């Protein structure tokens, strides 16, 4: 028996490497699908790369002066000190502030207004439209009639010296002259002829949109970032479909940004000059008053040079007086600045040139000024109640509070120092008690006069410095690289598009085949059988295109008849030679072709000269007799319930062979399982073995009832019929369980109804059937085979 199993495996070509064959066979069997998919996706990629709207990158670089090298309005030492104390005051780099300004909506709105970017002219192409900049032979001025206009497209044709405008949505179809107002529902258009640009028959498209929409569109393609974390150089990149227009947009943005930056510096200088001028007026009046009183005192007392008296003591007093004057000046300035910022409603910039010469205060005041300037810039884009304005107001109030506290502490320290100096002066003054009273009054006037004179001269000096700085004020930013577009568009990238097209062309068929395999629950190819059962396949029967119950005759040479001959040959390897054989056919459910297989198997065995009898034991739903056109009124059930009926009485001849007979099922009994359990079934089979070489039993589906299991003990071979694209993969577990449970001793599979279409059971048609039919010239190619079936047929 082992030898017969080995011979069967060899005859069937049993596969040893299922996974490899399944993978390679499935893909190779659908090579045309891969080829077609690849060609389609590559063609789509080529069209996309050729006709899609390109996008260019326009690049520019600017550098920001963060104060490390000094500024026009601040001294170098103060700027350097700012760098030293910026971490203590949590001050952000000036470059990040400039990034926000460059990305601000206010700046981009000014660019769109200056360049009239909300009006876009396109030249119509075969597939898509191409945006123009200065290549169009006309310009368009848009005058809105409503606050917020909606996007509109107009077709524009040049008709001689006139303009033809058309738009179906607004019901516009008119022809106008140049420099004429075209009144439309949302706006008024004025077309101006561009001299020097050739006018051709090209058609144009006009896109009109609101300022806000265009600002939003351009801002999406704008990117500003630091070139390095330790650098203050900004890289500006703009993505735009027209490289020349993109360069113009970026240049205009740089121009407006530098202009605004310079105007902010001038505003700081003007504010500083105004503050100094106010203080000069006050100090000048105070100095004049002191000098007048001093002069009047000297006239009344006839004093000319009282300093000559007590020169030694006065020298010491003068030194302390000078120190006292310096501290009082600092106290006066600190008090003025403190009063200046104490009022929350005061939004003016603090003039840092007259601030206390302390690096920490310089840095803090610069941060406060930057916040005020930033708020003014944001007010161009946002309203007073906007959360952004509220947040920066909160930050301004926080910084102001910190400054006020700092100045209060600083003034307290100055008061302590002044108090100490006054005590020292009081001690010295006590030593000059003998000096006449006039001399002491003279000394007081002299000190007051000297204090006011020094403060006045200091303010005059700062006024001149500020005036000089204003005339030489430069922007804190300068352009390193002007706006320049890349030579080639960065999008779409043709190599990338082609690669994606090629990859999709290969992946789509793979996904299709994998998904088809994953979702398929029925048996489609031989791999489905080999992956779900180890039971050998003893035969493969093709599709019966004519739907005849009997396809094997005496002179039949069709493909399907040769497949039944191959089944007959394979059965010789599993049956005992020289002995009568009992073959049973069953399946998982009705409709898988048991009766068809039994009829034609009996016919093909009878053609070999063997005597065959068919037994119709599907007692619940018999089909065998009706398929052969025989009456089913008298048969197996009659014999089983009768006590005196002979077996020969129920044996009927068939019309297709004199060596083939049939025992019909007879009337449908109420207890089919009990009849099959009767010992008379075994006696009948033993009797038939003496008269026939082969006994073929058509039993009920084993997946529905247990009749086949009752018959199995009497048979030599059980054929389990599987139908392509009909039998479920899970139903193979039925025969697996029966074989593993030793309920079926000799079970083999027969595959029925194999389609001839491409990618069928083997991936190339019938397999064995084609080998016998076409290889040896017995049959003919089916007449209904289409062009693609013949084209992709395996040779």
Interval 196-215: pLDDT, tens: 776 666 788 888 888 888 89
Band (612; pLDDT cuts 50, 70, 90) = very high
Tell me: do 412 and 352 sit in the same domain: yes
> What DSSP state is assigned to residue 66?
-
Most confident of 264-278, 353-367, 478-492, 561-575: 561-575
Range of the domain at 764: 534-791
With 90 as the cut, is the pLDDT of residue 280 above it? no
Please tell me the predicted confidence (pLDDT) of residue 721: 92
91 C-beta neighbours (distance < 10 Å), count: 18
Cα-Cα-Cα-Cα torsion 712, 714, 717, 720, nearest 10 degrees, comes to: -30
**Straight-line distance from the first to the last Cα atom of the chain, in angstroms, rounded to the nearest whole number:** 37
Residue 554 in 3-state DSSP?
Answer: coil
Q: Does residue 242 sit within a domain?
A: no
Tell me: do 287 and 398 sit in the same domain: yes
For residues 714 and 698, give the distance between their C-alpha atoms in angstroms, rounded to a whole number.
13
Tell me: do 633 and 575 sit in the same domain: yes
Q: How many domains would you assign to the chain?
A: 3
Tell me: do 477 and 501 sit in the same domain: no
Edge-to-edge strands, sheet with 660-663: 537-542, 747-754, 717-723, 581-587, 694-699, 612-617, 660-663, 651-653
Q: Does residue 350 sit within a domain?
A: yes
Cα dihedral sign for 359, 364, 370, 373? Answer: negative
With 90 as the cut, is the pLDDT of residue 748 above it? yes
For residues 624 and 590, give the distance between their C-alpha atoms in angstroms, rounded to a whole number.
13
Tell me: do 411 and 510 sit in the same domain: no
Please tell me the predicted confidence (pLDDT) of residue 11: 38
Q: Does residue 345 sit within a domain?
A: yes
Cβ-Cβ contacts under 8 Å for 18 (sequence gap 6 or more): 527, 530, 531
- DSSP secondary structure, 119-161, as one string: EEEEEE-SSSEEE-SS-SSEEEEEEESSSSPPPEEEEEEEETT
Quickly list H helices, 608-706: 624-627, 636-641, 672-677, 680-691
Tell me: do 695 and 779 sit in the same domain: yes
Q: Does residue 177 sit within a domain?
A: no
Tokens of 22: 């399944």
Tell me: do 471 and 599 sit in the same domain: no
560, 551 contact by CB (below 8 A): yes
Q: Does residue 742 sit within a domain?
A: yes
Strand-pairing partners, residue 177, are 162
Band (395; pLDDT cuts 50, 70, 90) = confident
Cα dihedral sign for 118, 124, 129, 130? Answer: negative
Percent of the chain with pLDDT over 90: 11
Mean pLDDT, rounded, for 507-528: 78
- DSSP secondary structure, 224-241, as one string: EEESSTT--EEEEEEEES
Q: What is the pLDDT of residues 74-92, one digit of tens each?
A: 433 333 333 333 333 333 4
What's phi and psi for 778, nearest 5 deg?
Answer: -75, -40
- Vertex 66: Cα angle to 64 and 70 (nearest 5): 115
- Vertex 665: Cα angle to 659 and 669 (nearest 5): 170
Tell me: do 546 and 649 sit in the same domain: yes
> What DSSP state is assigned to residue 667?
S
140 C-beta neighbours (distance < 10 Å), count: 19
Q: What is the pLDDT of residues 290-319, one digit of tens each?
A: 778 777 766 666 655 555 555 556 677 777
372 C-beta neighbours (distance < 10 Å), count: 21
Nearest by Cα to 762 from 10, 29, 9: 29
Residue 585 in 3-state DSSP?
Answer: strand
Residue 653 in 3-state DSSP?
Answer: strand
Please tell me the predicted confidence (pLDDT) of residue 556: 77
More confident call, 223 vs 446: 223
Tell me: do 513 and 538 sit in the same domain: no
Band (583; pLDDT cuts 50, 70, 90) = very high
> What DSSP state is assigned to residue 614?
E
Q: Each residue of 228-258: b (16+ CB within 10 Å) or e?
A: eeeebebbbebbbbbbbbbbbbbbbbbebbb
Tell me: do 430 and 508 sit in the same domain: no
Mean pLDDT, rounded, for 553-558: 79
Q: What is the pLDDT of residues 121-135, one digit of tens each?
A: 888 877 777 888 888
With 70 as the cut, is the pLDDT of residue 715 above it? yes
Residue 79 in 3-state DSSP?
Answer: helix
Cβ-Cβ contacts under 8 Å for 459 (sequence gap 6 or more): 276, 279, 280, 283, 354
Cβ-Cβ contacts under 8 Å for 132 (sequence gap 6 or more): 121, 122, 123, 204, 242
Nearest by Cα to 528 from 539, 512, 511, 516: 516
Mean pLDDT, the chain, integer: 77
Mean pLDDT, rounded, for 671-687: 90
For residues 88 and 85, give the distance between their C-alpha atoms in angstroms, rounded to a whole number.
5
With 60 as the cut, is the pLDDT of residue 675 above it? yes
With 70 as the cut, is the pLDDT of residue 767 above it? no
Q: Does residue 574 sit within a domain?
A: yes
Please tell me the predicted confidence (pLDDT) of residue 684: 92
Band (431; pLDDT cuts 50, 70, 90) = low
What's phi and psi for 577, nearest 5 deg?
Answer: -70, 145
Please tell me the predicted confidence (pLDDT) of residue 651: 92
Q: Does residue 351 sit within a domain?
A: yes
For residues 226 and 63, give the distance between their C-alpha atoms in angstroms, rounded to a whole number.
10
Tokens of 14: 């049993």
Tokens of 643: 């006590």
Please tell me the predicted confidence (pLDDT) of residue 4: 40
Tell me: do 786 and 652 sit in the same domain: yes
What's phi and psi for 784, nearest 5 deg?
Answer: -90, 10
With 90 as the cut, is the pLDDT of residue 765 above it? no
Q: What CATH number did the domain enclosing 668 receive?
A: 3.40.50.300
The answer, yes or no, to whether the previous bond of 337 is cis (omega within 30 of 0) is no
Half-sphere exposure for 740 (CA within 13 Å, toward CB): 8
Tell me: do 475 and 501 sit in the same domain: no
With 60 as the cut, is the pLDDT of residue 770 above it? no
Residue 168 in 3-state DSSP?
Answer: coil
Band (67; pLDDT cuts 50, 70, 90) = low
What's phi and psi for 271, nearest 5 deg?
Answer: -65, -40
The most distant pair of C-alpha atoms in the chain lies apart, rounded to whole Å, by: 176
Q: What is the pLDDT of residues 638-650, one digit of tens each?
A: 999 988 889 998 9
Mean pLDDT, rounded, for 730-741: 87
Q: Does residue 41 sit within a domain?
A: yes
Cα 534 from chain centroid? 47
Please tell me the predicted confidence (pLDDT) of residue 207: 87
């Amino acid at each position: 028996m082992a030898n017969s199993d080995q011979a069967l495996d060899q005859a069937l070509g049993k596969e040893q490497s299922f996974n490899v064959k399944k993978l390679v066979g499935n893909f190779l069997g659908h090579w045309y699908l891969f080829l077609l998919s690849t060609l389609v996706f590559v063609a789509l990629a080529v069209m996309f790369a050729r006709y899609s709207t390109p996008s260019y990158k326009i690049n520019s670089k600017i550098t920001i002066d963060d104060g490390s090298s000094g500024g026009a309005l601040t001294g170098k030492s103060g700027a350097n000190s700012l760098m030293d104390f910026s971490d203590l005051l949590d001050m952000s780099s000036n470059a990040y502030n400039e990034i926000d300004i460059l990305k601000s909506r206010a700046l981009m709105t000014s660019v769109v207004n200056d360049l009239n970017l909300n009006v876009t002219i396109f030249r119509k192409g075969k597939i898509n439209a191409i945006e123009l900049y200065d290549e169009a032979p006309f310009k368009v001025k848009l005058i809105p009639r409503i606050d917020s206009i909606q996007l509109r497209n107009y077709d524009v044709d040049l008709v001689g010296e006139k303009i033809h405008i058309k738009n179906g949505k607004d019901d516009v179809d008119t022809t106008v002259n140049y420099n004429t107002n075209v009144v439309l529902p949302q706006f008024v258009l004025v077309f101006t002829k561009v001299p020097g640009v050739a006018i051709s028959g090209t058609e144009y498209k006009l896109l009109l949109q609101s300022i806000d929409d265009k600002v939003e569109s351009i801002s999406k393609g704008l990117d500003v970032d630091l070139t390095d974390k330790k650098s203050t150089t900004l890289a500006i990149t703009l993505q735009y479909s027209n490289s020349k227009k993109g360069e113009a947009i970026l240049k205009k943005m740089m121009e407006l940004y530098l202009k605004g930056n310079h105007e902010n510096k001038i505003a700081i200088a003007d504010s500083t000059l105004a503050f100094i001028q106010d203080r000069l007026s006050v100090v000048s009046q105070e100095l004049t008053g002191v000098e007048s009183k001093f002069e009047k005192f000297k006239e009344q007392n006839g004093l000319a040079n009282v300093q000559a008296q007590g020169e030694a003591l006065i020298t010491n007093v003068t030194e302390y007086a000078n120190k006292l004057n310096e501290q009082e000046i600092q106290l006066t300035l600190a008090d003025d600045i403190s009063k200046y910022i104490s009022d929350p409603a005061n939004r003016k910039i603090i003039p840092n040139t007259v601030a206390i010469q302390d690096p920490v205060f310089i840095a803090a005041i610069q941060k406060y000024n930057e916040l005020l300037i930033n708020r003014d810039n944001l007010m161009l884009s946002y309203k007073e109640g906007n959360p952004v304005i509220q947040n920066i107001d909160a930050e301004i109030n926080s910084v102001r509070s910190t400054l006020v506290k700092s100045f209060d502490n600083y003034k307290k320290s100055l008061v302590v120092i002044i108090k100490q100096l006054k005590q020292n002066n009081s001690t010295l003054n006590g030593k000059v008690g003998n000096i006449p009273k006039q001399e002491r009054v003279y000394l007081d006037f002299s000190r007051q006069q000297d204090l006011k004179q020094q403060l006045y001269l200091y303010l005059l000096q700062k006024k001149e410095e500020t005036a000089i700085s204003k005339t030489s004020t430069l922007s804190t930013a300068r352009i390193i690289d002007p706006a320049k577009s890349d030579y080639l568009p960065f999008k779409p990238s043709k190599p990338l598009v082609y690669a994606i097209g090629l990859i999709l062309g290969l992946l789509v068929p793979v996904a299709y085949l994998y998904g088809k395999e994953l979702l398929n629950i029925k048996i489609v190819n031989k791999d489905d059988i080999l992956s779900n059962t180890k039971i050998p396949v003893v035969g493969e029967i093709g599709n019966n295109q004519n739907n005849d119950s009997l396809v094997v005759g005496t002179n039949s040479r069709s493909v399907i008849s040769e497949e039944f001959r191959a089944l007959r040959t394979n059965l010789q390897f599993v049956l005992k030679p020289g002995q009568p054989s009992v073959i049973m056919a069953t399946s998982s459910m009705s409709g898988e072709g048991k009766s068809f297989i039994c009829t034609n198997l009996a016919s093909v065995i009878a053609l070999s000269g063997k005597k065959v009898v068919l037994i119709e034991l599907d007692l619940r739903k018999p089909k065998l007799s009706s398929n052969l056109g025989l009456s089913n009124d008298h048969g197996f059930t009659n014999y089983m319930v009768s006590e005196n009926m002979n077996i020969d009485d129920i044996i009927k001849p068939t019309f297709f062979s004199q060596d083939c007979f049939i025992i019909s099922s007879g009337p449908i009994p109420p207890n089919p399982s009990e009849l099959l359990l009767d010992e008379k079934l075994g006696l009948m089979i033993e009797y038939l073995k003496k008269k026939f070489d082969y006994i073929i039993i058509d039993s009920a589906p084993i997946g529905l009832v247990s009749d086949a299991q009752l018959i199995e003990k009497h048979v030599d071979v059980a054929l389990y019929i599987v139908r392509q694209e009909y039998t479920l993969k899970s139903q193979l577990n039925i025969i697996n369980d029966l074989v593993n449970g030793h309920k079926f001793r000799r079970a083999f599979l027969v595959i029925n109804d194999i389609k001839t279409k491409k990618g069928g059971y083997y991936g190339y048609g019938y397999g064995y059937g084609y080998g016998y039919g076409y290889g040896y010239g017995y049959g003919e190619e089916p007449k209904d085979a289409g062009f693609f079936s013949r084209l992709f047929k395996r040779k």
